[in-house]
C-alpha cells in the first residue's frame, strides 16, 4: 500500500464527509435531481435483473452512504453488510432495516469476515470514485 493511495483515501473520505455535512441526504443525487427520484429510478433498473423470488443469504452494499438502497436490498437478502467510509452516515444506515450490520471501511480495506460468504454485492454509484489505480485494485481484490 503506497503512501499516495493512503493520502488519496483520506482526501476521498474528507470530501464525502464535507458533502454530507453541507447537503445532507441529497449529497448523492445528480445536480438538480431529487435523490429520492434517482433512487427509485435505479431501483427500477435493478428490478430488471432481480426477480421477486430471488433471495440471498448475505448481501453487501459497498459504499452504502446513508443507506438509501438498504430498504430495497433487504427485500432480497436475509442479512446485509453496509460498508462505507463515513461513520455519520453508517449510523443512519444501521437504523434503516433490522437485518443490517454497518461497517466502517478504512484503507487498506480489510473486511472482517471470510465466512459467511457473500451471495450478493451492490456497489451502486461508488467505484467511479476510486480514482487511484492501486486503491481500486485493492478494493476489487478484497
**Position 114 pLDDT exceeds 70:** no
Residue with cell 438502497: 69
More confident residue, 91 or 114: 91
**Position 109 pLDDT exceeds 70:** no
What percent of the chain has pLDDT above 70? 75
User: What grid cell was written down for 134?
Assistant: 492501486
Q: Tell me the pLDDT tens digit for each residue of 18-31.
A: 777 777 776 666 66
Count the helix, strand and coil residues of the chain and give each as a percent rounded to the nearest 5. 45, 15, 40
The per-residue pLDDT for 99 is: 93
pTM of the model: 0.76
CB 121 within 8 A of CB 59: yes
Q: Tell me the pLDDT tens digit for each residue of 53-92.
A: 889 998 989 888 889 899 999 999 999 999 888 888 888 8
Mean pLDDT lowest among 31-35, 40-44, 60-64, 96-100:
31-35
Sign of the C-alpha dihedral computed for residues 54, 99, 17 and 12 taken in this order:
negative
Amino acid at each position: 500500500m503506497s503512501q499516495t493511495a493512503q493520502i488519496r483515501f483520506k482526501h476521498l473520505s474528507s470530501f464525502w464527509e464535507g458533502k454530507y455535512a453541507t447537503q445532507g441526504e441529497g449529497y448523492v443525487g445528480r445536480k438538480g435531481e431529487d435523490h429520492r427520484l434517482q433512487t427509485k429510478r435505479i431501483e427500477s433498473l435493478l428490478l430488471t435483473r432481480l426477480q421477486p423470488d430471488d433471495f440471498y443469504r448475505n448481501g453487501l452494499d459497498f459504499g452504502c452512504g446513508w443507506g438509501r438502497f438498504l430498504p430495497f436490498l433487504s427485500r432480497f437478502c436475509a442479512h446485509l453488510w453496509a460498508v462505507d467510509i463515513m461513520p455519520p452516515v453508517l449510523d443512519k444506515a444501521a437504523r434503516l432495516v433490522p437485518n443490517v450490520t454497518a461497517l466502517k471501511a478504512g484503507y487498506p480495506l480489510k473486511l472482517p469476515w471470510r465466512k459467511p460468504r457473500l451471495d450478493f454485492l451492490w456497489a451502486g454509484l461508488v467505484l467511479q470514485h476510486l480514482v487511484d489505480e492501486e486503491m481500486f485494485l485493492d478494493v476489487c481484490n478484497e
